[in-house]
Structure 1
Amino acid sequence: MTQKAACFPPQVRLREPAEFKRVFAKAERSTDKYFTVLAIVNELDFPRLGLAIAKKNIRRAVDRNKIKRSARESFRLQQHEMINIDIVVMARRDAATANSKILQASLDNHWLRLNKRCATYS
């Protein structure tokens, strides 16, 4: 039995503006009190994550960094159950005051929801 490594290498990150634009253009959307998460099927064999945590919504850098860490960690642990999708996570104002466990639970629900929605397109 082989276990896949739970890591976050550079190839599973969205980096280029064109990659983000592609997701924003025609994406499946999942929203709750803390996050809006967009996803679209990609042509690769693995999911990728992009973060768009706006200073307009989350004022303090400390809070933005906490949210980014939570999103990366949740993605890192769940990426092997996901299909090949590009994901962009956007934080809402309530995410700044939530603790890490609440953020993790919220993101786990988003991953499941988007996996089901995007599976019909792949």
Structure 2
Amino acid sequence: MTDAALPASRRLSQSRQFGRVFANPVRSADRYFTVLARPGEAPAARLGLTVSRRAAKRAVDRNRLKRLARESFRMQSNLPSWDFVVVGKRDAVSAAKAVLRESLDGHFDRLRRRAGSENDG
């Protein structure tokens, strides 16, 4: 494991954890990704990833999308203690890395602002 790895405490790994986010999420979506979020049970933001074979047929493409999502998540600062699930879409497979990174960063920014407005009101 490298220093850049996402520790287990920052990952969603159980279907119960994913199900909780899918049950009543705050959403942010575009043609490349849908990011679902919900206030979490942990003291820090956690990430879950799902890229289906329908969205990306080749394992190398699914892994690339997941790697980009983890990289974007790690680079975020001031994320609320929410659970985030990134769902990859078909158009993401053929998109450039910079476009995908911009998309993911935008989703996290929007959800951070939504979390802040929900905490204020």
TM-score by length of 2: 0.90
Equivalent of 1:46 in 44, 47, 53: 44
Match of 1:103 among 75, 81, 100: 100
* Post-superposition CA distance 1:92-117 (Å, at most 9, x none): 11000012111111000000001111
Residue in structure 1 matching 2:83, options 75, 78, 86: 86
- 1:120 deviates by 3.2
Percent sequence identity over aligned pairs: 45
- CA drift of 1:7 comes to 5.1
Q: What residue identity is the alignment partner of 1:11? A: S
User: Displacement, 1:119?
Assistant: 2.4
In structure 2, what is the Cα distance between the partners aligned to 1:116 and 1:102?
Answer: 21
Alpha-carbon distance, 1:43 to partner: 3.1
Cα displacement string for residues 61-82 of structure 1 (whole angstroms, at most 9, x for unaligned residues): 111111011000000111x320
Q: 1:8 aligns with which of 1, 6, 9?
A: 6
Q: Would you say how many aligned residue pairs link Structure 1 and Structure 2? A: 117
Q: Which runs of 5+ in 2 are unaligned?
A: none
2:44 & 2:5 partners in 1: Cα distance?
A: 13
- Conserved 8 A contact 1:39-1:118: no
Q: Give the unaligned 5+ runs of structure 1.
A: none
Please report how far the alpha carbon of residue 6 of structure 1 lies from its aligned counterpart in structure 2 after TM superposition.
Answer: 6.2
| Structure 1 residues 7 and 59, CA gap change in structure 2 (3 angstroms) | closer
Shift of 1:57: 1.2
Q: Judging changes above 3 Å, is the alpha-carbon distance between structure 1 residues 25 and 112 closer, same or farther for their aligned structure 2 residues?
A: same
Structure 1 residue 42 displacement after superposition:
1.1
Letter in 1 for 2:17: E
Q: CA deviation at 1:45?
A: 2.0
User: Which secondary structure state, in structure 1, belongs to the residue aligned with residue 48 of structure 2?
Assistant: strand
Equivalent position of 1:73 in the other structure: 71
